[in-house]
Amino acid sequence: MCGVLGIVATSPVNQLLYDGLMMLQHRGQDAAGIATAENNTFYLHKGPGLVRDVFRTRNMRALPGSWGIGHCRYPTAGSAWNFAEAQPFYVNSPFGITLAHNGNLTNADTLKRAMFAQDLRHVNTDSDSEVLLNVLAHELQAAVEKRNQGHRLDAEAIFTAVSGVHRRCRGAYAVVAMIAGYGLLAFRDPCGIRPLVVGTRAIPGGVEYLTASESVTLDALGFRFLRDVAPGEAIFIDLNRQFSARQCAENPRLAPCIFEYVYLARPDSMMDGVSVYETRLSMGEFLADKVRRHIPLADIDVVIPIPDSSRPAAMQLAQKLGLSYREGFVKNRYVGRTFIMPGQSMRRKSVRQKLNTIGQEFRGKRVLLVDDSIVRGTTSREIVEMARAAGAIKVYFASAAPPVRFPNVYGIDMPTRGELIATGKNDAGIALEIGADALVYQNLEALEASIRVLNPRLTEFDSSCFNGRYITGDVTPEYLNAVESRRDGKLAGVEEDGENSRQMVLGLASDEEGRD
């Protein structure tokens, strides 16, 4: 999970890109980067850390131009703190291209070998995003040569190139890219696993465009939501701000990642025609029915959410069951999301730093804690202990999502079965593991129905982390074993890298270090 955005405007976009990344900070806390363009020259700054820490006044001043892209990174394979994998990436042949990517390619290793042996291109990092960039660059060159139009690009050639990317790449990808001298390109994988939206705003100088991972970015920057980018679709905005779009995949199908609705996306976003907030309310409605069947309601004094993602579901569950709803945890806003922190020990330590109990809401009560999901169980276990320490006499636990039993290979950091608390355990065993008196999980059918009821067009989802069925059809047991083995090796050697962020001006001879 990462956040991407791209803007084509009539005036400098550095501040807009910074503000947009701040709205997407929840999607990645490991690194951030911005690339802008002016007079066919790219300007790029990226570094490890939160958006507010990566960019200083001098960095912003060194990002001129009226169009650009941004990225906030969240690592998916134990490679946190590796500056070389911060995005956007850049390649200078056959066209100058910078690219930012949200998702994960499942055939990156195969593509990387082909890059070296057939395409004669070099990939310098372990990042699948750099592989994707080089595939796009190669396909752009092939499209130009096929059309026999020298070294000039047009929208037709660009869309042909994206079609080539779809034919070669497997997995999840929502992409924004700049092509020097031509314009901004954005496209989404043929299954629409990762979200991507586009919006516009009319100003005296004309129309400006913004594309981003979530619609909340449009709202905050004053853009009007136009629509979701369709699965397999590419949009291109040239430097005259002329907008064009094309379906570039042969058999597109809409199957978004269901975990976006459960946890990843902000509640004030719209994704594929559905309000994320409304889906979480709906999840609470469906979860209430199962809680009623498994826990005597007379044995629950109060419903308490685990802030923040579960709050809508907990409120709706309490209302439907006629139970009292209370806020029992206070969240420290200055601690990152524990789910996306790299390393189990860091997650465990941060839970106590992130949450504190309001004692009177637990003392002498039988409480039902509601969370959006249980992945590794670290947070759940700590929270149950905190509730008991605050005086709860019984602690029940309800999850708005089913048990996470399978690796996710499409860009979410849950890739090894050994890290998942539900692996090899039934509900009673998981309840014992987290210390709860009883545990209720949402059924997958109910979870999918809770979203579909708001948009019947959503007939399928990528629910692979719950059911083990991978929507792209290319994930084998051998692939999963290789991913897990590679990740285990990386996690064993992960060290925090204190490398300073740096300023790079591509196409110029300078390389500035440091910050104001």
CATH number reported for the structural domain that contains residue 95 in this entry: 3.60.20.10
Same domain, 203 and 266: no
Same domain, 232 and 170: yes
Same domain, 201 and 315: no
Q: How many domains does the chain fold into?
A: 2
When mean pLDDT is compared across 49-53, 146-150, 204-208, 510-514, the lowest value belongs to: 510-514
Strand, coil or helix: 70: strand
Catalytic residue numbers read: 2
113 domain-assigned? no
Closest Cα partner for 217 from 190, 246, 195? 195
Same domain, 238 and 309: no
CA angle 28, 88, 415 (to 5 degrees): 45
Query: CA-CA distance, 216 to 228, in Å (whole number)?
Result: 13
Same domain, 241 and 290: no
**φ and ψ at 116, to 5 degrees?**
-75, -45
The answer to whether the beta carbons of residues 122 and 116 sit under 8 Å apart is yes
144 domain-assigned? no
Same domain, 401 and 306: yes
The answer to whether the beta carbons of residues 426 and 397 sit under 8 Å apart is no
297 domain-assigned? yes
**Both ends of the chain: CA-CA distance in Å?**
30
Q: What is the pLDDT of residue 333?
A: 72
What is the overall mean pLDDT for the chain?
89
CA atoms within 13 A on the CB side of 98: 32
As given in the structure block, the two tokens for residue 397 are 């636990």
* Percentage, residues of the chain above pLDDT 70: 88
207 domain-assigned? yes
119 domain-assigned? no
What's the average model confidence in pLDDT over 470-489? 85
Domain of residue 343: give its range: 261-470
CA angle 70, 213, 442 (to 5 degrees): 140
What's the average model confidence in pLDDT over 233-261? 96
* Percentage, residues of the chain above pLDDT 90: 74
Q: What is the pLDDT of residue 179?
A: 97
When mean pLDDT is compared across 45-59, 65-79, 287-301, 374-388, the lowest value belongs to: 65-79
When mean pLDDT is compared across 4-18, 272-286, 324-338, the lowest value belongs to: 324-338
Confidence bin at 124 (pLDDT 50/70/90): confident
138 domain-assigned? no
Query: How far is the CA of 304 from the CAs of 36, 261, 296, 314, 368, in angstroms?
Result: 45, 20, 17, 7, 6
- Measured in residues, the chain has a length of 516
Confidence bin at 350 (pLDDT 50/70/90): low
267 domain-assigned? yes
149 domain-assigned? no
Same domain, 301 and 214: no
Same domain, 224 and 366: no
496: pLDDT strictly greater than 60: no
96: pLDDT strictly greater than 50: yes
Q: What is the pLDDT of residue 232?
A: 98
174: pLDDT strictly greater than 50: yes
Give residues with Cβ within 8 angstroms of 347, minimum separation 6.
338, 339, 341, 376, 378, 379
Whichever domain contains 296, its CATH number is 3.40.50.2020
When mean pLDDT is compared across 147-151, 352-356, 483-487, the lowest value belongs to: 147-151
Same domain, 303 and 409: yes
Same domain, 346 and 397: yes
Same domain, 272 and 328: yes
Query: How far is the CA of 334 from the CAs of 198, 331, 337, 354, in angstroms?
Result: 30, 9, 10, 8
Same domain, 249 and 271: no
417 or 295: which leads in pLDDT: 295
128-147 helix and 155-168 helix, angle to the nearest 10 degrees: 130
Query: CA-CA distance, 2 to 396, in Å (whole number)?
Result: 33
230: pLDDT strictly greater than 50: yes
The pTM assigned to this predicted structure is: 0.89
117: pLDDT strictly greater than 90: no
Pairing of strands 329-331, 270-271: unpaired
Strand, coil or helix: 514: coil
